[in-house]
Amino acid sequence: MANDQIEAWLQENRSFAPSADFAQKSNVTEAEYGRAHSDPEAWWLEQSARLTWTVAPTRSLDWNPPFAKWFSDGMLNASYNCVDRHVDNGFGGKTAIHWIADAENEERVISYSELQQMVARCANALLALGVRAGDRVAVYMPMIPEAVVAMLAIVRLGAMHSVVFAGFSAEALASRIQDSDCRFVVTADGQFRRGTAALLKPAVDEALLNCPSVESVLVVKRTSQEVVWNETRDHWWHELVDSQNSTHQYESFPAEQDMFLMYTSGTTGKPKGILHTTAGYLVGAATTYSNVFDIKPATDICWTAADIGWITGHTYIVYGPLLNGVSQVMYEGLPDSGGRDRWWRIVENLGVTILYTAPTTIRTLMKWGTSHLIGHNLSSLRVLGTVGEPINPEAWMWYREFIGGNNCPIVDTWWQTETGSIMISPLPGVTSTKPGAAMRALPGITIDVVDEQGHSVPNGHGGFLVVTRPWPSMTRGIWGDPDRFAETYWSRFPGTYFAGDGAKRDDDGDIWLLGRVDDVMNVSGHRLSTTEIEHAIVGFHLVAEAAVVGASDETTGQAVVAFVTLKLSDDDQSQDHAAIIEQIRQHVSRVISPIAKPRQIILTPELPKTRSGKIMRRLLRDVAEQRALGDVTTLTDPTVVSMISGLMEQHSTED
Ligand code: WT7
């Protein structure tokens, strides 16, 4: 793989020593890596003491590849661990969730005791509706506290939540409900987006036309919009939940009790129901949250700016923070609801110390410019996190400089829906950081980068990212499809977890993620990473965002096609597009190699993104190859693709 750009960054000595950024005493030290490495299973059993057990486990791992069990003789209740035990320990008055609405001046402060009562009432209501241990309950909710309450109440009963992102269509919701035969749905009448109320329940009504398994629907009233009501099936939250008893005696469940499903897309069209079970997942969430963000529960104000509809929201809004008993911010709106400085007002007003977001958001904030930061005191921040895709060094540096004031460690955290919790990341105050690198496997996690034959590649080389030993929060399978589970993750390198990502170890042995291997291109026999070329293009001063795909080409096998959005200052507006395109091509040629020079560059005002913010490269490949478009239903705005198809004819250049 061509890695000249990474090398260029390294040659500039862009490496930040841990102590330079971090005055605090970290929760763990360098010694933790060695302790965990010498006996990972013993180390994880030790970490399991972060939970309060009814019956403490004596076993760590039972491994029957590819099926793992962790802490299998232990018994516990997930919801008790997130909520009640903090009240029992005297923290009932502490803020659990400081919820900020999409609208200005609307907020709710919920203490751990209030959360306990809300969860108890919801659990009692779900019991009354007939929810029993093992049932699947779909949750299709906006970012409101009731979403968290519902999740905690469901797992309190030993049932499973299957949270479906509220931006998904009725069809997507229906297919997820059907795949796991959900008996119940928790939803809301609607939600707010930049001040506008939008309906949610009609999508549920439509989905349920094709979901005979669903018996009851619990509906939060969030807006004052009219919704169609089914008297026998639908129940208002404020009627059913609010009238329940505010105590609920929890039951203990086995460590391996099924806990939740999270649907994610694979290489085929059908989404996979990724299964997580209770104790291993919770141990992973609690341990990684504490270590990676160096959480100090007494003083931190944590903000994971994600949606509960994704795994990041599950692990780092709901379970990780609540298990650690922190106070956190939960925000309903978009980054620019109420103005482009909304985030910075939240950080300043609430004194946020830990901020966790995605590269795509960082690039958007960057595009909006630093003028929105002026006058906001962000000095409370002490750790900044990023997740979801490889972060380009420019965005990393911007985050560090403008948001972190050059003194917050940036933790670039690599993980997946399937891994349940963070796997690769620096540790604040312990690991040095480099712009664009996820650096090191966490204590207790064993990562390797291997070639086609499964052999470790030496430092300085690229290959496939694998996890060589089981870990507690690993998925236990794909719902209803053990063969697909074994095939997708465990067959390419038998006995080893194949993540689907390309990675490189630099000369120091630090890990750089290079994007999905399904996005690796082969141009004239050279292997090129789409991510690497994107980084190069984004490094050009006029570029805001870029997506690169490999389009089939008669001569070279594949050719590089780039879709680019520009950021033009007033002075730059007059520049000729053809000239800019040529400058970008020369820039890529210079930064990576002439081989990587895009055959075509299409300038577009927007890129097609999924609702989780991922660029849909599959669709861009269709556009680049002028094929009929595949499924566009998961896009935030399906019209973006047809617009780009049009631009493809107007603005492209060819050699
Ligand atoms: C894929 C997993 C984990 C929560 C959000 C995404 C990519 C994730 C990073 C990172 C480079 C990353 C990988 C991975 N990814 N984090 N820090 N650097 N790539 O969860 O939807 O399951 O996606 O996201 O390609 O395989 P997901």
Per CATH, the homologous superfamily of domain 446-518 is Luciferase; Domain 3 (2.30.38.10)
- CB of 445 closer than 6 angstroms to any ligand 1 atom: no
Q: Which residues, in sequence order, are CB contacts of 616 under 8 Å at separation 6+?
A: 608, 609, 610, 632, 634, 635, 641
Range list for CATH 2.30.38.10 in the chain: 446-518
The pTM (predicted TM-score) of the whole model is 0.85
Structure-block tokens of residue 256: 């391996």
Pinpoint the alpha helices (H) of 13-83: 18-21, 31-38, 40-47, 78-79
Q: Which residues of 156-193 are buried (b: 16+ CB within 10 A; e: fewer)?
A: bbbbbbbbbbbbbebebbbbbbebbebbbbbbbbbbbe
Residue 69: the pLDDT is: 98
- Please choose from 6, 307, 386, 389 the residue to mutate so as to test ligand 1's pocket, defined by most ligand atoms within 8 A of CB: 389
Q: Look at residue 268 in the predicted model and tell me its pLDDT.
A: 52
Nearest CA to ligand 1 atom 6: 388
Q: Is the CB of 265 under 6 A from ligand 1?
A: no
Closest atom of ligand 1 to CA, residue 413: 17
Residue nearest to atom 11 of ligand 1 (CA): 390
Instruction: Identify the residue whose C-alpha is closest to ligand 1 atom 19.
Output: 389
Ligand 1 within 6 A of CB of 394: no
The answer to whether 517 and 500 have CB atoms below 8 angstroms apart is: yes
Torsion angles phi and psi, residue 220, rounded to 5: -80, 135
Say if residues 441 and 415 touch (Cβ distance below 8 Å).
Answer: no
Q: Which atom of ligand 1 is nearest to the CA of 513?
A: 11
Length of the chain in terms of residues written: 655
Residue of the CA atom closest to atom 3 of ligand 1: 416
Q: Which helix (H) or strand (E) holds 485?
A: helix 482-490
What was the pLDDT predicted at 650? 59
- How close is the Cα of 376 to the center of ligand 1, in Å? 31
| Calpha distance 289→13 (Å, rounded) | 29
Report CA dihedral (572, 573, 575, 578) to the nearest 10 degrees.
Answer: 120
10 Å Cβ neighbour count for 201?
23
- Four-way CATH pick for 520-654: 3.30.300.30, 3.40.50.300, 3.30.1300.10, 3.30.160.270: 3.30.300.30
Q: Starting at the earlier edge strand, list the strands of the sheet with 258-264.
A: 234-236, 216-220, 184-188, 136-140, 160-163, 258-264, 272-277, 477-478
Atom 14, ligand 1: residue with shortest CA distance? 416
Identity (one letter) of the amino acid at 437? A
Instruction: Identify whether 472 is preceded by a cis peptide bond (ω within 30 of 0).
Output: no
Nearest by Cα to 611 from 373, 310, 183: 310
Report how far ligand 1's centroid is from the alpha carbon of 552 (Å). Answer: 26
Tokens of 576: 């000729």
Tell me, what's the pLDDT at 5?
A: 52
H-run or E-run covering 448:
strand 447-450
351's CB contacts (< 8 A; 6+ apart) are 301, 380
The reported pLDDT for the residue numbered 529 is: 73
Cα(330)–Cα(350) distance, integer angstroms: 11
Nearest CA to ligand 1 atom 7: 389
Run of H or E residues at 202: helix 201-208
- CA–CA separation, 632 and 129 (whole Å): 36
Residues of the chain within CATH 3.30.300.30 domain(s) are 520-654
Distance CA 605, CA 582 (A): 18
| Residue 337 CB–ligand 1 contact under 6 Å | no
- Provide block-wise average pLDDT over 10 residues at a time, the chain (655 residues): 49 76 86 97 98 98 97 98 98 98 96 98 98 98 98 98 90 91 98 94 96 98 96 98 98 98 71 94 98 97 96 97 98 95 98 94 90 96 93 92 95 96 97 96 98 93 95 97 94 94 93 78 69 88 92 80 89 84 91 83 89 81 79 70 72 42
Centre a 10 Å sphere on the Cβ of residue 85 and count the other Cβ atoms it contains.
18
CB 492, CB 498: distance < 8 Å: yes
Quick check: CB of 311 below 6 Å from ligand 1?
yes
